[in-house]
Amino acid sequence: MAPVIDIADARALVLQHCGVLPPVSMPFRAAIGTVLAAEVVAGEDVPPFANSAVDGYAVRAESVQAAPVELPVVAEVAAGAFTDHVLQPGEAIRIMTGAPVPDGTDAVVMVEDTERLDGGTRVRVLKPVDAGSAVRAAGDDVRTGTALYPAGTLITPAVAAVLASVNAAVVSVVPRVRVAVLSTGDELVDDGGPLAPGQIRESNRTMLHGLVHDAGCEAVDLGIVRDDEAVLETVLREAARTCDAIVTSGGVSMGDYDVVKAVLSRIAEMHWMQIAIKPAKPFAFGLLDDGAGRRVPVFGLPGNPVSSLVSFELLARPALRQMAGMPQPARPWVSAVADHGLGRRPDGKVHYQRVVAAFGDDGRVHVQSVGAQGSHQLAATSMANAIAELPDGDGVAAGGTVRTMLLWVV
Ligand code: AMP
Ligand code: MG
């Protein structure tokens, strides 16, 4: 039997074998959610030319110091247009937001501070403006040649938009991690028909598919695999050939039909673990050769749905995000207030209770148990948005603090 190990040691072992994937080139829009593999240097100024921040009138500030004053409107320039008229003292040019300011301009008066006269051929400027007012200089946002983003930057939608603005059309990124997800067990069905005696409806794959996707990876659904060694071996080898990581559910404990264990022991370099935690004590991690020398991480999660979720969160998620080069692979952990006692008995294990976390009026995160904590009771756990860590002992009293991993905050 595998020795019992601490969660910290299990996680360290996993992370040590899950290196960042080699970079690929990708158009910036497709790259949202990935991480830059190389620095991006701005190849262009943003904005590319001095332009107006408002709809109004381009002037020389000196021409309107004595406002209210009337000026002739000698030209008009819309966004996307251009005028080669060089603005003279005592003149105004009608201008729209984003239009290039004509040469000779040093300020724009916003339309709200003007009155249109004579069908637009003249304007009354009601207030003086300072030089530079409402003019956005070329390069005000980004200057050509500046180091915009270092390698390791997560490409958020806003970062992708900045890449678009400097025409960094293709960027070098760590690719999305392709993760094969499969369930094992002869009892599992997903055809929607009536259940035969002993059958249950397969549910972990749906959850793991979603969790993999939420981790920023691409999930590849390999379906339910029967408890049949030959079939499972074929599916696993194919998964190693086509994916960057494999997540299996079921078949990693001590049962007679734990075929994942039988097959992976034979074809992969595996670590069969009994982790001193509850739930999710059995866990397997290893590396499966893809047939060409690439070693693909395999995460063997237990079949009990709650255990599957907890071991994915504690072990697989940070590893997959590390492979994706994420600057912050781990979920945030906070010191939360237990709104009521979170009970447990000493048993040599760290317990991970599923809780609902919310910010209280004191600005701290408060947690309450979701109720049923059995490893088969996913319905209660499905309401959790956080996992509270209870060290070996008697639990945490009401009002006490508990280290808590936030899945999301409502
Ligand atoms: P195992 O880890 O294969 O021994 O399974 C442990 C428990 O989890 C058993 O009650 C299984 O029926 C259940 N189980 C395993 N895989 C799944 C799954 N994909 N969906 C729902 N329940 C499962
Ligand atoms: Mg099974």
Structure confidence by residue, pLDDT tens digits, 48-103: 999 999 999 999 999 999 999 999 999 999 999 999 999 999 999 999 999 999 99
Answer whether residue 148 is part of any domain.
yes
Instruction: Specify whether 283 is located in the same domain as 385.
Output: no
HSE on the CB side for 285, CA within 13 Å?
24
Distance CA 66, CA 174 (A): 59
Residue 28 inside a domain? The answer is no
Residues 127 and 155 in one domain: no
Shared-domain flag, residues 193 and 106: no
328 lies in a domain? no
The Cα-based distances of 220 to 111, 182, 243, 305 in angstroms read 56, 9, 8, 19
Of 20, 114, 15, the C-alpha closest to 64 is 114
Q: In the prediction, which pLDDT does 1 show?
A: 67
Q: Of 136, 161, 188, which marks where a domain is finished? A: 136
Which residue lies with its CA nearest to atom 23 of ligand 1?
303
Domain containing 264: what range?
A: 4-22+176-323
- Per the structure, the count of domains in the chain is 4
Q: What is the pLDDT of residues 352-378, one digit of tens each?
A: 999 999 999 999 999 999 999 999 999
178: nearest Cα among 383, 320, 37 = 320
**Last residue in a domain, options 159, 174, 189:** 174
| CA gap 15, 130 in Å, rounded | 58
| Together in a domain, 185 and 309 | yes
**What Cα–Cα distance (Å) separates residue 87 from each residue in 60, 78, 102, 114?**
8, 16, 7, 18
Residues 309 and 398 in one domain: no
* Sequential DSSP letters for 193-261: SPPPTT-EE--HHHHHHHHHHHTTPEEEEEEEE-S-HHHHHHHHHHHHHH-SEEEEES--SSSTT-HHH
For ligand 1, the distance from its centroid to the CA atom of residue 16, given in whole angstroms, is 28
Q: Which ligand 1 atom sits closest to the C-alpha of 203? A: 20
Residues 350, 386 share a domain: yes
Q: What is the largest CA-CA distance in the chain?
A: 94
Residue 253 has what pLDDT? 83
8 Å CB contact between 109 and 94 = no
pLDDT at 65: 98
Q: Is 295 found in the same domain as 212? A: yes
User: Which domain CATH number covers 341?
Assistant: 2.40.340.10
Q: What pLDDT, in 10s, does the model give residues 265-303?
A: 999 999 999 999 999 999 999 999 999 999 999 999 999
DSSP, res 85 = P
Helix (H, G, I), strand (E, B) or coil at 311: helix
Same structural domain for residues 116 and 242? Answer: no
Q: How far is the CA of 186 from the centre of ligand 1 (A)?
A: 10
User: pTM to 2 decimals?
Assistant: 0.95
Q: Domain with 221 in it: what CATH number?
A: 3.40.980.10
pLDDT of 254 reads: 77
State the closest ligand 1 atom to the C-alpha of 183, by its place in the atom list counted from 1: 19
Q: What whole-number distance in Å separates Cα of residue 307 and Cα of residue 260? A: 16
Last residue of one domain, picked from the residues 80, 108, 136: 136
pLDDT at 294: 97
C-alpha 305 – ligand 1 centre gap (Å): 7
d(Cα 260, Cα 280) in Å, to the nearest integer? 16
* CATH number of the domain within which 124 lies: 2.170.190.11
Q: Assess whether the C-beta atom of 297 lies below 6 angstroms from ligand 1.
A: no
Q: Which residues face 351 on adjacent strands? A: 278, 390
Return the best residue to mutate from 181, 195, 204, 254 for the ligand 1 pocket (most ligand atoms within 8 A of CB): 204
Asked if residue 229 belongs to a domain, the reply is yes
Q: Is 158 part of a structural domain of the chain?
A: yes
User: CB under 8 Å to 169, separation ≥6 — which residues?
Assistant: 27, 28
Ligand 1 atom nearest to 224, measured from its CA: 19
Residues with a beta carbon under 5 angstroms from ion ligand 2 = 185, 250-251, 303
In this prediction, residues 219-236 reach a mean pLDDT of 97
Residue 100 maps to a domain: yes
Which of 181-185, 210-214, 255-259 is predicted least confidently? 255-259
Instruction: In whole angstroms, give the CA distance from residue 79 to residue 101.
Output: 10
Per-residue pLDDT of 126-168, as tens digits, reads 999 999 999 999 999 999 999 999 999 999 999 999 999 999 9
3-state DSSP assignment of residue 369: strand
Q: State whether 8 and 110 are in the same domain.
A: no
- Assigned domain for 56 exists: yes
Confidence of residue 3 (pLDDT cuts 50, 70, 90): confident
Percent of the chain with pLDDT over 90: 97
**Mean pLDDT of all residues belonging to the chain:** 97
State residue 410's pLDDT score. Answer: 64
As given in the structure block, the two tokens for residue 339 are 């709104």
Q: Tell whether 266 and 344 lie within a shared domain.
A: no
Residue 182 sits in the same domain as residue 314: yes
Q: In the Cβ-directed half-sphere of 393, how many Cα atoms lie within 13 Å?
A: 8
Q: What is the share, in percent, of the chain residues with pLDDT greater than 70?
A: 100
- Same domain, yes or no, for 126 and 15? no
Are the C-beta atoms of 257 and 291 separated by less than 8 Å? no
pLDDT band at 255 (very low <50, low <70, confident <90, very high): confident
**Rounded Cα distance, 73 and 165, in Å:** 32
For residue 315, being part of any structural domain is answered with yes
DSSP notation for 143-210: -TT-EEE-TT-B--HHHHHHHHHTT--EEEEEPPPEEEEEEE-TTEE-SSSPPPTT-EE--HHHHHHH
